[in-house]
C-alpha cells in the first residue's frame, strides 16, 4: 500500500488547495488543526511508579542470581532478599520480563519454567 496517506498529510493538501483558491481564512484554520496534531506527544511515556519499583526489583534479582544455577520462580521468591514480600506469581511475571529482555534464559522443564542468567 504505497499510496497510503495520513490524516496529517491530507490536512496539508486541503490547506494547500484552500490557499490556492484564495480562502486564506480556512487555510489558517487548517494550519491550526495541523499544529494541534503536531502538539500531540508521541508514544513516549514516563514509567509509572510501579514500573520504577519493578525495575529496581529486577536489578536486585539479577545481582542476586549466580551463573550456572537454575532457579524457579518459587525459589527466587523464597530466597532472594528483594522478593521476600512478593507473591510467587509476581516474581514469575518479573522473571518472565527479564527473560523477554534477554537477561535470563528460560527453559520449560516438565511444565515448570527454569531461569538461568544469560
For the stretch 68-113, pLDDT in tens is 888 888 898 888 888 888 899 999 999 999 999 889 888 888 888 8
Residues 33 and 79 in one domain: no
| pLDDT (0 to 100) of residue 24 | 87
Residues 64 and 110 in one domain: yes
The radius of gyration computed from the CA coordinates of the chain, to the nearest angstrom, equals 26
Average pLDDT over residues 23-49: 81
Residues 92 and 54 in one domain: yes
User: pLDDT tens for residues 57-69?
Assistant: 999 999 998 888 8
Residues 33 and 54 in one domain: no
Average pLDDT over residues 36-61: 82
- Structural domain range at position 105: 49-117
User: For the chain, what percent of residues have pLDDT higher than 90?
Assistant: 14
Q: Is 2 among the domain residues?
A: no
| pLDDT (0 to 100) of residue 92 | 92
Q: Is 1 among the domain residues?
A: no
Quote the mean pLDDT of the chain.
86
| pLDDT (0 to 100) of residue 1 | 45
Residues sharing a CB contact under 8 Å with residue 78, sequence separation 6 or more, in sequence order? none
Domain total in the chain = 2
Q: What is the pTM of this model?
A: 0.61
Beta carbons of 58 and 94 less than 8 angstroms apart: yes
Beta carbons of 84 and 102 less than 8 angstroms apart: no
Q: Is 53 among the domain residues?
A: yes
| pLDDT (0 to 100) of residue 83 | 86
From CA 9, how far away is CA 15, in angstroms rounded? 10
Q: Is 44 among the domain residues?
A: no
Residues 57 and 30 in one domain: no
User: For the chain, what percent of residues have pLDDT higher than 70?
Assistant: 93
Residues 61 and 110 in one domain: yes
Amino acid at each position: 500500500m504505497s499510496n497510503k496517506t495520513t490524516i496529517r498529510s491530507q490536512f496539508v493538501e486541503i490547506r494547500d488547495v484552500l490557499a490556492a483558491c484564495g480562502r486564506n481564512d480556512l487555510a489558517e484554520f487548517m494550519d491550526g488543526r495541523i499544529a494541534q496534531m503536531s502538539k500531540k506527544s508521541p508514544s513516549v511515556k514516563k514509567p509509572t511508579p510501579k514500573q520504577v519499583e519493578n525495575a529496581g526489583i529486577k536489578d536486585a534479582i539479577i545481582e542476586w542470581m549466580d551463573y550456572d544455577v537454575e532457579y524457579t520462580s518459587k525459589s527466587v521468591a523464597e530466597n532472594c532478599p528483594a522478593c521476600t514480600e512478593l507473591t510467587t506469581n509476581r516474581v514469575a511475571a518479573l522473571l518472565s520480563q527479564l527473560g523477554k529482555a534477554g537477561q535470563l534464559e528460560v527453559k520449560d522443564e516438565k511444565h515448570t519454567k527454569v531461569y538461568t542468567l544469560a
